[in-house]
């Protein structure tokens, strides 16, 4: 993967499974300048959210997971 900042090649520093093995999170580093960032890889199947009566708990967990992902992304951008 190319560095999102300068476009040069990168190396994978660390790789671990997430989502019970259904995804991979990788820590990467720019070979030229040492920029670091994280990528998340999951299958391309869209996740469906059904907002029906009785499923509010599942929807609340889904929203919490999305917010946690956004917080992590913002923090990583702030660290650049």
List residues near Zn ion by CB under 5 A.
Answer: 3, 5-6, 30, 33, 35
Report in angstroms how near the CB of residue 29 gets to Zn ion at its nearest: 9
- Token pair 């999170």 in the structure block, residue: 25
DSSP string, 23-56: EEEEEEEETTT--EEEEEEE-SPPPP----TT-H
Q: Which is nearer to Zn ion, 2 or 60 (CB)?
A: 2
Q: Which is nearer to Zn ion, 5 or 49 (CB)?
A: 5
Q: Which is nearer to Zn ion, 5 or 18 (CB)?
A: 5
Dist CA 5 CA 9 (whole Å): 11
């Amino acid at each position: 993967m190319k560095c999102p900042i300068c476009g040069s090649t990168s190396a994978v520093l660390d790789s671990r499974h997430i989502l019970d093995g259904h995804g991979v999170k990788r820590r990467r580093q720019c070979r030229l300048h040492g920029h670091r960032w994280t990528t998340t890889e999951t299958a391309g199947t869209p996740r469906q959210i059904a907002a029906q009566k009785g499923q509010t708990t599942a929807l609340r967990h889904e929203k919490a997971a999305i917010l946690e992902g956004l917080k992590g992304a913002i923090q990583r951008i702030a660290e650049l």
